[in-house]
Chain A
Amino acid sequence: MAWYEPLLAIDRRVLYALMFLAVLIPTLLPIGLPIRITPEVQNVYDRIDGLRPGEIVFYALEYDPSTAAELEPMAMAMLRHAFSKDLRVLACCLSSTGVTLVEDEIARVAREYDREYGRDYVYLGYQPYPGIVIMTMGENFRTPFPLDYYKTPLDELPMMRGVRNYDDVALVFTVNATSGIDHWITYGQGRYKFPLGLGSAAVMATNYYQYVQSGQLFGIISGLRGAAEYEMLIDKGTVARKGMDVQSIAHALIVLFILFGNIAFLVERRRRRLGRAD
């Protein structure tokens, strides 16, 4: 048997086992690789950092357990940044399976900064059909959300007095890995012209750089890498930064797989062409 034949017919379980080790080892033994800040993430940071204390930011945290690994670190970083700047946070979750997860996370970060519900932050919860919700919030938040997540009328919350629609918030930021992103861009920013930022999974974020170029998005936080950059900028949180070590080793492993696979393939093809048997 030629040396390259096992490489061409390698059992996929061997690949899975190597990938498992590539994820496990850096998780247990962090490396601490340096991370370069990209302009898109810097734009988001600068935008929020430039807001005045007391201004309201609207966070649409629309992820669920399946995408939480990639999106939760950036959502946590955004919340920490907002609370550290004494901004007030209005949040919702238009993903039915993520609403409890997001609620738990917001409450956790609010406790870190000793923020009071109703005065410093409000959580609207979930309503179905995100496109319709986004459109009707442009008229009045109370139209799709007459009550908050805890079934309190919005008018009874001190923070919501005088806050009617997108005109009364400084910006909207959606952490999203679904088609809801298009709804925010089309029905939200396209119709009501508020500043919109996006945090999304790395594989989806590449679709939306064109909106940054056209000015419809003021910035993008892309995947775990973007979350790690944001953690560095606010100098708080390490989940995403540790995750970058793991991602680095995993990517390097896949590149090695591709390399060895192609070496074996090219050698086998060359030998076939030359008609030589090993």
Chain B
Amino acid sequence: MKRELPRILTLVTGVFLALQYFVPHRASATVYETLMDWLIIVGIFAILLGIAGLVRLHSGKIRSRQTNWPFSIVLLAGLFGMIFLGFWGQDLGSPFVTAYFQVLNPVQATMFAMLAFYIASAAYRAFRGRTLLATILLLSAVIVMLGRVPLGELLWPPVTIGSLRIPGVGEISDWLVNVPNLAAKRAIFVGLGLGGAATALKVILGIEAPHLRG
């Protein structure tokens, strides 16, 4: 029963939600909204599980003085510190909001800004013309990078020679993004949609349930 009951629940819920999409009646929407409410409640309790696991893991590290155990203190202090500060109030100027703007804000922005450096090293390493396809990739990347910035449009503007008009890098970049890139993405989207539907079908029918083995 330990394996059968989850499979039955998965089958019934999966089929219901699949068919619910086609039923606009209020009764169907009410059941759907109730299930979503249950999902939110389960999610909240799962957060408690996650926090409990995190606290257990790091307090174990502190107790047994594992490598880098002081950072576990920092983590737990941050976790409980923000929870505690939140109880003091969340108005502008409160300690919670101050911590948000002075700590979380710049740290998150910094992490995102690292992408600029990482893309430089990744592009330098990866965009090599090893094969014909790799050369097409790097030429496309160069054109789009130049076409998306004003400097590129300044260096390579549209040129008219007699009756022949050579488009600028901005227009070529727009064409690359809106035509071949979009075509490829649409094709991948179709495959992803079908693959996603097939994966969901496998789970609903119980063909694939890796968490129910053993």
Contacts and interface: CB of A to CB of B under 8 A. Distances in A.
Direct contact of A and B (CB under 8 A): yes
A97 B109 CA distance: 12
Interface stretch (B11-19, B58-66, B146-154): B146-154
- What is the interface of chain A mostly: helix, strand, loop, or mixed? helix
B182 interface: yes
A258 B150 contact: no
Interface stretch (B69-77, B112-120, B200-208): B112-120
Interface residues of B, number: 50
A262 B177 contact: no
Contacts of B128: 261-262, 265
B121 A100 contact: no
A210 interface: yes
Contact of B150 (A67, A202, A206, A248): A248
Interface in A1-59: 10, 12, 15-16, 18-20, 23, 33-36, 38
Contacts of A20: 117
Given A65-B109, A209-B182, A254 B129 contact: no
A207 B170 CA distance: 18
B120 A19 contact: yes
A69 interface: yes
A33 B148 contact: no
A81 interface: no
Contacts of B170: 36
- What is the interface of chain B mostly: helix, strand, loop, or mixed? helix
Given A69-B109, A209-B178, A262 B129 contact: yes
B172 to A, nearest CB: 13
Contacts of A156: none
Interface string B143-166: 001101111111000000000000
Contacts of A261: 124-125, 127-128
A267 interface: no
Contacts of A132: 33, 36, 40
Contacts of B154: 33-34
A128 interface: yes
A101 B106 CA distance: 12
Contact of B127 (A35, A97, A249, A258): A258
A278 interface: no
A255 to B, nearest CB: 5
Contacts of B174: 38
Given A16-B117, A104-B92, A209-B177, A252 B151 contact: yes
A247 B116 CA distance: 10
Interface string A59-76: 000001111110000000
B68 interface: no
B111 interface: yes
Interface in B175-194: 177-178, 181-182, 185-186
B197 interface: no
B151 A66 contact: no
Nearest to A101: B105
A251 interface: yes
| B109, B129, B149: most-surrounded residue (chain A CB, <10 A) | B149
B117 A15 contact: yes
B181 A257 contact: no
A65 B99 CA distance: 13
A248 B121 contact: no
24 contacts: A16-B120, A19-B117, A20-B117, A36-B150, A65-B107, A65-B108, A68-B109, A69-B113, A97-B104, A132-B36, A210-B185, A210-B186, A248-B151, A251-B146, A251-B151, A252-B149, A252-B152, A254-B119, A257-B124, A258-B124, A261-B124, A262-B127, A262-B128, A265-B130
Given A68-B109, A249-B151, A265-B128, 14 more contacts: A10-B124, A15-B121, A15-B124, A36-B170, A38-B174, A65-B109, A100-B90, A100-B101, A104-B92, A244-B149, A248-B151, A251-B151, A255-B142, A257-B124
Interface of B: 33, 36, 39-40, 90, 92, 97, 100-101, 104-109, 111-113, 116-117, 119-121, 123-125, 127-130, 138, 141-142, 145-146, 148-154, 170, 174, 177-178, 181-182, 185-186
